[in-house]
């Protein structure tokens, strides 16, 4: 499948990444400006071409990002990878397959769910049960991030009242990667957490985006109490 040149309304998600880095630094006693400089450098390194470096510089680090801003998928992808590389620490994996083993990308997704539940997506979170949230809100937010086509392929399967499976097919989208899947695990976890669900477990044992994977969909198993 050929990757599509895509832009999505990622402004608020990217703004959230900056807030996440700041919170992470505060908690860990790290110097925000110093960490930001490292992430900036790493992002430009991952951008590769001079053309992409210029876009990253202008769109991410110089210009004002509004919640409504559309940004290229690839930019979100390399920024997230750069954040993970700088904050993760050497030797540990940049992605996870379970909320039981959180990585930086998972925490970034969880952070955005918490932040957006109190901010731009407040109305989508209010007075929802976890089940309603999974079936409606999550799809709305997912559409904004991944576009109409991918949202049409999103499936939610009810196993029982507190056990669901969510299937998505992001193959062909430029931002899709196992690191991105980790943000999805985090967002599902954070979203449910915001609604008062307890003992949440999100596992992503089947990932279509892992190198060599034969799976046609990414499958997320979601349970809570
Ligand atoms: Zn996946």
Compute the distance from residue 10 Cα to the ligand 1 centre, in Å: 19
Compute the distance from residue 170 Cα to the ligand 1 centre, in Å: 8
Compute the distance from residue 206 Cα to the ligand 1 centre, in Å: 7
Asked whether the predicted pLDDT for residue 3 surpasses 80, the reply is: no
CA–CA dist 45, 202 (Å, integer): 32
Average pLDDT over residues 124-142: 89
Compute the distance from residue 37 Cα to the ligand 1 centre, in Å: 30
Q: How many CB atoms lie within 10 A of CB 112?
A: 27
Compute the distance from residue 126 Cα to the ligand 1 centre, in Å: 28
pLDDT tens profile 53-64: 999 999 999 988
The full length of the chain comes to 225
Compute the distance from residue 131 Cα to the ligand 1 centre, in Å: 22
Compute the distance from residue 114 Cα to the ligand 1 centre, in Å: 22
What local confidence, expressed as pLDDT, does residue 121 receive? Answer: 82
Compute the distance from residue 82 Cα to the ligand 1 centre, in Å: 19
pLDDT tens profile 11-58: 889 999 999 999 999 999 999 999 999 999 999 999 999 999 999 999
Compute the distance from residue 182 Cα to the ligand 1 centre, in Å: 8
pLDDT tens profile 196-213: 999 999 999 999 999 999
pTM: 0.93
Compute the distance from residue 11 Cα to the ligand 1 centre, in Å: 23
Sorted by where each starts, the structural domains of the chain and their CATH numbers stand as 9-88 (no CATH), 104-223 (3.90.1520.10)
Compute the distance from residue 71 Cα to the ligand 1 centre, in Å: 22
């Amino acid at each position: 499948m050929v990757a599509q040149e895509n832009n999505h309304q990622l402004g608020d998600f990217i703004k959230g990444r900056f807030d996440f880095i700041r919170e992470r630094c505060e908690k860990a006693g790290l110097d925000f400006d110093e960490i930001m400089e490292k992430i900036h450098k790493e992002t430009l390194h991952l951008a590769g071409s001079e053309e992409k470096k210029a876009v990253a510089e202008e769109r991410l680090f110089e210009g004002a990002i509004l919640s409504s801003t559309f940004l290229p998928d690839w930019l979100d992808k390399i920024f997230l990878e750069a954040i993970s590389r700088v904050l993760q620490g050497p030797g540990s994996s940049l992605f996870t397959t379970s909320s039981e083993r959180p990585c930086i990308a998972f925490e970034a997704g969880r952070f955005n769910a918490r932040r957006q539940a109190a901010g731009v997506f407040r109305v989508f979170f209010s007075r929802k049960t976890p089940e309603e949230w999974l079936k409606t809100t999550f799809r709305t937010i997912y559409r904004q991030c991944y576009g109409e086509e991918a949202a049409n392929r999103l499936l939610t399967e009810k196993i029982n009242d507190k056990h669901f499976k969510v299937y998505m097919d992001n193959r062909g989208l430029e931002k899709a990667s196992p690191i991105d899947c980790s943000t999805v695990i985090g967002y599902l976890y954070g979203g449910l957490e915001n609604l008062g669900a307890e003992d949440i477990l999100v596992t992503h044992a089947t990932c279509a985006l892992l190198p060599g994977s034969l799976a046609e969909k990414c499958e997320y198993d979601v349970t809570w109490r």
